[in-house]
Amino acid sequence: MKFINDFRDRELCETLLERIHKEAVREITIMEVCGGHTMALHRFGIPALLPNTITLLSGPGCPVCVTGRGFIDHAIGLSMRDQTMVCTYGDLIRVPGSESTLEKAQADGANVRIVYSPLQCIEMAAQDPETNHVFLGIGFETTAPASAVALQKANELGLKNFFLYSAHKIMPPAMAAIIHEGVKVDAYLCPGHVSTISGTKMYEPLVDQFGVGCVVSGFEPLDLLQSILMLVQQQENKNAAVEIQYTRAVKSQGNVKAQQILNQVFEPCDAWWRGLGILANSGLKPSANYKGFDASVVYGLSTNEPADPTGCRCGDVLKGLLKPTECKLFRKTCTPANPIGACMVSAEGACQSFFRYANS
């Protein structure tokens, strides 16, 4: 994007920082709920530049991190079946299940392929009708439309060997659950690319019910600083509202066409989130017309969630109750090279962000 240098312009960032320092008089706790924001904030060193009145917390914004071990266990199980290929985004390949990972299963001969789009999985399924192809649908409102288009395509082509194993989730129930859990959050830095699809109406109940400010932010330093300033101003003026900072990509109505496709293909379901447990209607599963493509139905996959390993505090990290550096495993037994918990595996996980960019 030709503006990238402008959105990283030092002088403009300093201008915003000056304003933040001047205006952030009252204490404010801001939670980001997007793994991309978590990584960008630490990568650009923003937490260290803010005044002491501002506390930044990472929330359940990384889809890989909130996905349970049971999902990985089932995915590994599917990949080891005869005549079955599991296709996944690269993000999931090293995430630990109860005993193994997709990467290890692949090394042991299981049929696991990394794809960058579910349409690649559709193409492979069409070319090889003898093999069942299961796509692992992971992610929030940003990736769910891609899975939805893939299901439409599979239906159109009459494929009998393509299935979606969905762990797709939607953000607002988790944002409400965080506050119900008693975590002190004054304001949400709302996810940028989720909002390109969903728009901003879905954040309004959070403002109305809990009085938290919501600003949809972009991912560059200027975006993040401007969003923080907007949230500070809302707090200082006691005027919590939903605002869009990331105006170049997010419209209040979102992407209406993508929403229509999502509504045609998916229906809400209860979903399990690491740290938050089962949240009603926070997941997406194929609707009745697409049931034949639903791997959890076709393969009868249970939704039991094995407990996280002893000592792993990813659940508390995802709720903003614990900083990654406060986990006893952090930097000792749990590192990106040998991750114990999902938040250390994911490039957008809070633990990996802290490991790579934050001072211990």
Partner 1 sequence: MCLSVPGKVISIENETALVDVGGTSISVGIQLLEEVSLGDYVLIHSGFALQLISEEDALAQLELVRAMKG
- Contact residues toward partner 1 (CB under 8 A) are 1, 3, 6-7, 11-12, 15-16, 19, 34-37, 61-64, 89, 91, 116-120, 138-140, 142-143, 145-146, 149, 191-194, 196-197, 219, 222, 226, 245, 247-250, 255-258, 261, 346, 348
Radius of gyration of the CA atoms of the chain, in A = 21
Based on CB atoms, which residue is closest to partner 1, 23 or 316?
23
Based on CB atoms, which residue is closest to partner 1, 84 or 147?
147
Least Cα distance to 241 among 210, 265, 263, 268 occurs for 210
Question: What is the smallest separation between the CB atom of 139 and partner 1, expressed in angstroms?
Answer: 5
Question: What is the smallest separation between the CB atom of 328 and partner 1, expressed in angstroms?
Answer: 27
According to DSSP, the β-strands at 54-58 and 277-286 are unpaired
Question: What is the smallest separation between the CB atom of 60 and partner 1, expressed in angstroms?
Answer: 12
At CA 348, angle to CA 347 and CA 354, rounded to 5? 85
Based on CB atoms, which residue is closest to partner 1, 168 or 329?
168
Quickly tell me which residue has 């923080």 as its tokens: 228
- At a CB cut-off of 8 Å and minimum separation 6, what does 34 contact? 61, 189, 190, 191, 192, 193, 194
- At a CB cut-off of 8 Å and minimum separation 6, what does 147 contact? 118, 135, 137, 164, 166, 168, 265
Based on CB atoms, which residue is closest to partner 1, 88 or 329?
88
Q: Are 155 and 1 in contact (CB under 8 A)?
A: no
Between CA 266 and CA 284 the distance in angstroms is 6
Based on CB atoms, which residue is closest to partner 1, 162 or 329?
162
Quickly tell me which residue has 């309004």 as its tokens: 204
Question: What is the smallest separation between the CB atom of 190 and partner 1, expressed in angstroms?
Answer: 12
Question: What is the smallest separation between the CB atom of 249 and partner 1, expressed in angstroms?
Answer: 6
Structure tokens at 357: 């960019």
Question: What is the smallest separation between the CB atom of 204 and partner 1, expressed in angstroms?
Answer: 21
Based on CB atoms, which residue is closest to partner 1, 116 or 302?
116
